[in-house]
Amino acid sequence: MSAPTVAPTVAFDVFGTLADPASYALGLRPHTSEPEVIAASWRRYQLEISWLLTAAGRKLDWSTVTAQALDMALAATHVQLGEQQRAAALERVAVPELFEGVPEVLDELVGRGVRMAVFSNGDVGGLDRILAEHGIADRFEEVVGCSEVGAFKPAPETYRHLAARLEAPLEGIWLVSANPFDCAGAALVGMRVAQLASPASPKYPFAPEPELVLDGLAQLPEALPWE
Amino acid sequence: MSAPTVAPTVAFDVFGTLADPASYALGLRPHTSEPEVIAASWRRYQLEISWLLTAAGRKLDWSTVTAQALDMALAATHVQLGEQQRAAALERVAVPELFEGVPEVLDELVGRGVRMAVFSNGDVGGLDRILAEHGIADRFEEVVGCSEVGAFKPAPETYRHLAARLEAPLEGIWLVSANPFDCAGAALVGMRVAQLASPASPKYPFAPEPELVLDGLAQLPEALPWE
């Protein structure tokens, strides 16, 4: 009998995984009658712009992508915001709420000796601010943002950059993400993937299936294997 | 006074530009109660997969992308098709109807001396078949498909491949497309762009605006400048 001795290394996606996308609607609520509709369009355009920029070999800061996506969502829904209202909506998204129970799950993982990093499309300064304002910065050994790379997820170089920052092979790192395109990109480069999935999450047939599919972050500590 | 003497070189996108996306719904109509809903989802996933593959540095044939996108759209709408029904829907999309008046506009452009190519995400064999079945193959000097390149639009190498095939500089080629992401990708590499746009067409703020914005293909012969 051999007892498992090596603690896993885990990289957490942020938007949609640790942080609640409800923030997109919250900042719009005071100014529009359909905050959820605009918020869904905003999030879609944010991803669409990031994919198109990466496919086109171009790079912008995540904050710029986020602002351009808001403008596209407003144009699509024929809603106009004043400059201050727009700035307030962007500020609201800059520091989103965490999902319920996130700090507790992170603490449990730290207690088990899991090595943890944040790995997001976001700009590093913005990520540091989110972690600081929620008081969870000290749970993570590294904060890796795609602003350090000339591309967004699912570009292979973003995952390779993560592995370089963690000084670990891709095959030795778990991605934990609720974003199916992120899970697909990680699986394609050989990372281990724990996807937080709902029945509505699309499955991309071009990528290997995730090794773990969980209903939520709370299941992670028990599900994560030691080797 | 100097008379314009150089006929423009024009590369036409196919799906949504010369060919009618209604084909996505037509092949589903006999088998489902919501063909338009599934068709819209199918088209979205087709683009999404092509962008994600390109961002991830992976390539599949367009026919495979199309089949995977149909399966995703069916899963998202909880509709099941038999193997023959699925094959029939894919076959229907393989040779879509042209928009009304397309052959006449192409003839007018040929008559004015415009040099024309087809330039699509599609597989070259599939494109040849579309042009042959509609009897318009002889209007085009080249048929350029992204199956010849390891990426889909808006990857810069797809536009550079087009320019190489046409032996013309990117700045000397017009892209005619109804797909905003295609117009964005072409503008980013310095092509001239005539976008077929509706009020609902999104504008991507990260790319230069198209030089021409037309309501439809019929406006192209008059709008296209000679230099």
Domain identity same for A90 and A101: no
Estimate to the nearest angstrom the gap between the alpha carbon of B151 and the chain centroid: 15
Same domain, B156 and B55: no
* pLDDT computed for residue A3 by the predictor: 56
What's B39's domain CATH number? 1.10.150.240
> Does one domain contain both A172 and A211?
yes
Q: Which ipTM score applies to this complex?
A: 0.96
Tell whether A13 and A123 lie within a shared domain.
Answer: yes
What pLDDT was estimated at residue B6?
A: 79
In this structure, the answer to whether residues A121 and A208 fall within a common structural domain is yes
Q: How many domains does chain B have?
A: 2
Instruction: Identify the domain boundary among A43, A67, A94.
Output: A94
Domain C-terminal end among B62, B94, B126:
B94
Under an 8 A CB cutoff, do A206 and B45 touch? no
- Tell me which chain B residues have a C-beta less than 8 angstroms from the C-beta of A205: 68, 71-72
The answer to whether residues A102 and A191 belong to one domain is yes
Both structure tokens of B90: 């894919």
Domain holding B167, by residue range, is 9-19+97-223
CB within 8 Å: B51 and A48: yes
Q: What is the pLDDT of residues B178-218, one digit of tens each?
A: 999 999 999 999 999 999 999 999 999 999 999 999 999 99
Instruction: Give dist(CA B184, CA B197) in Å, integer.
Output: 13
Q: Is there a contact between B185 and B202 (Cβ–Cβ < 8 Å)?
A: no
B194 assigned to some structural domain: yes
Residue B4: which pLDDT band, with cuts at 50, 70 and 90?
low
B89 and B75 within one domain: yes
Per-residue pLDDT band for A154 (boundaries 50, 70, 90) equals very high
In a shared domain, residues B111 and B155? yes
Which tens digits make up the pLDDT trace of B69-111?
999 999 999 999 999 999 999 999 999 999 999 999 999 999 9
Cα(B76)–Cα(A108) distance, rounded to whole angstroms? 35
Write down the pLDDT at residue B204.
Answer: 98
A105 with A80, same domain: the answer is no
Residue B3 inside a domain? The answer is no
Last residue of a domain, one of A60, A94, A128: A94
pLDDT in tens, A67-76: 999 999 999 9
Q: Which residues of B touch A151 (CB under 8 A)?
A: 55
Residue A1 is assigned to a structural domain of this protein: no
Check residue B2 and give its pLDDT: 55
B207 shares its domain with B102: yes
**A161-193 tens-digit pLDDT:** 999 999 999 999 999 999 999 999 999 999 999
Mutate one of B43, B46, B52, B201 to test the A interface: name it (highest A CB count within 10 A): B52
CB of A168 closer than 8 Å to CB of A191: no
The SS3 of residue A185 is: helix
Share of residues in chain B with pLDDT > 70 (%) = 98
Helix axes B180-188, B156-166, angle to 10 degrees: 70
Q: Assess whether A89 and A154 both reside in one domain.
A: no
- Average pLDDT estimate for A82-101: 95
Q: Is A148 in the same domain as A192?
A: yes
Is residue B62 a contact partner of residue B121, using CB atoms and an 8 Å limit?
yes
> What CATH number is associated with residue B215?
3.40.50.1000
The reply to whether A130 falls in a domain is: yes
Task: Name every chain A residue with its beta carbon within 8 A of the beta carbon of B206.
Answer: 49, 52-53, 58, 60, 68
Query: Could you give the C-alpha distances from B170 to A56, B16, B199, in angstroms and in order?
Result: 15, 22, 28
Give the E-state strand segments of chain B in sequence order.
9-12, 115-120, 142-145, 173-177, 192-196, 212-214
Tokens 């090595």 belong to A115
**Would residue A4 count as lying in a domain?**
no
Please state, in angstroms and as integers, the Cα–Cα distance from residue B172 to each residue in B155, B175, B193, following that order: 19, 10, 11
